[in-house]
Chains A and B, each alone.
Chain A
């Protein structure tokens, strides 16, 4: 049956093959691990070097190594401009993510529970703020606020832009959760006489709460790390951490920047480790949350 060109089975290796099936299998398996290991290395080496340099006397390169110090951290924490911009970014991210979460939860509810005209159009436009390049959204909003509405850039314009930017993340994560939600639970509550608000608070919200939290976190991070939208939409009285960092990096010699970056990596590592032990973070990120996994 098997012609000489077709692959042979494990039990009867053909004579013209130099290496057996088992060996190929093992080699491929090993190379899959090797490639994956190298990839993790690629993802991690630059961050590891930042963390290393944050503790080093020399700010930019490893060699010649001059010894360890905590001065970089002291410098970072004592910088007034850094503290002001950090406070600004924390405020912007928190307000914008809260607005995005409220809008996103309401919208997810409508998308998964109601049928209405233009539903698909609404859904598509709801996702656009996430995929449209930041530079275009930033410039478009800047021109719109300044030239059409006569509003000068400042705190309000950044928050509005970031709340729009964060909205799709909440929408996708929460509506994915709502789709897998057993609607008969809500119906049962309604049949037993609960009004819509009670149903939402006592039945729906407890089930979707982890997704709402994940959506808020996503929107928050997106706002906190955004540079280009903030660049066009912030005013002289609103300091943003990314803008402060950007100007420092441009000068190419900023020892305290390594410390700030290292602190951010540590902070995110702790938050992520906690989140991964509490909920199914991978599922929310990759959009693979299903009823059984919850």
Chain B
């Protein structure tokens, strides 16, 4: 009897203790159940394992993501353990936007796991039992919210091998609900009223027509409840979203979660350039890595060396070499020539930089991506090839002056020799300087300086070595007819460059445009040839034809550009025309856009090029005017300033001479059509 009692008591206590353990790892609050689960039934020393808090809100109730949206609060976990276990951050499953009246929250309306990776130290001994405690607080809401908290405890034995627990399947499932491991990279654009983000669709999603939803990590970036305009073209997704009321004054990068259905990706976006108006420069001043810079410098250095064996340079150097005294010259005398050359090249580089910078302010920024720059470079290199072939005869007087100048032995004479060598040798150096100029125009200041200095050092090196040691003289090749051949051969690398440029151009503008460019290049070369043969009048005609050849493809490019931008009957922005149309009591929609403005592109695709808007714009007395701010221009700047804007997009609808109505920065077809209809009514009321 006594024995029976003891056994019963033991059994009872075992049951009781296991029950108390069971109730320890789970808890219940109003409208929610929570559990602390482990993927494995034990802890293995030195391993990384996963724990999870299971949140199971009642139907229609929800808990929150790390950014709760307009209201609410994410769950928080404070971990403790009897051993030195390291707890990682919560791995949040992909959340969903949950609308509440006109506000939006981000969270989970069904059971989900908040998984947490833990690192088990090596020092644990098998057989030991470790207690893990999670102090959990949460907020569970339907429309009303109820905060809750629980202390959840789990005891796990330390085991040599890992065995799956009964909950392992839940973990397996939960991993499928996590955002993808690959973090996407994108660009961020900040406008007055909205932000626009742009990213390449992850592989497998490029063709999907389904829309993306953007959820921000920070609570102060976007208006959570606002509709998100989206366009995708060739796998690039762009979204324009109204800014949060709490948008920070400085924001260069931000993290988002972008989701399509249940699939989510983290997306890091950064501003291409902090100043919106400089966005165009960023594509041009593509920062070079050190190795790229060194390669460019090496190429320029070799170019400088080659300059020395040009027909109008080598004879000069040779004469100098012959005339040099055997007696040692001072160090100053030795480097004076180098200093002279460096000074001259740097002066030239500075001129280029100043021109480039002031040109930027004038709005004619060059960027390599721009087809018009590609065209200009193609003509430039063709022109250089023509010079190398001696198609244009350049007077030899300059090199004669050079020969007289280089005689003399003082440091001063060497210095001026260096300074002037560049200038006097210009018939031969010009092609190189022109190439360097071309590169400098599309590079940043540092690259320009590096290139010019490497070129200068290469150019000055043989002479400087000569000054230092006359033994070098023996190394110099003898001047002769081969120099001409070499010069002529150099034209081919130039033409190869032209071929490459034409290929780039075809990629941008298509085969037909490339054909036109090629024809223009051929005509240009032919006229160049004729120019040298003909008399005064013929020369003028040829010169004009050559100019026309350069301008034709450029103007063709810009007109196709407008077509691409505005498939409706759009007119280019012109303040005078706008004034005339308004005084005629017509309706005008002005669209200020730029190629680099993501929001503008989104609006053009989502709203302005839709059938609905096109019909409204094609109506009688309605005009559509497009200002292209891609390359800044004074007229557009003045117009933007009228509306206190520093950048695009800007949309204004005018009803005759009435004050224009500024449309929001994010357009919908309905909004544009309504604005045009209202303008029409306004006019009818007046008449």
Q: Do A and B come from one complex?
A: no
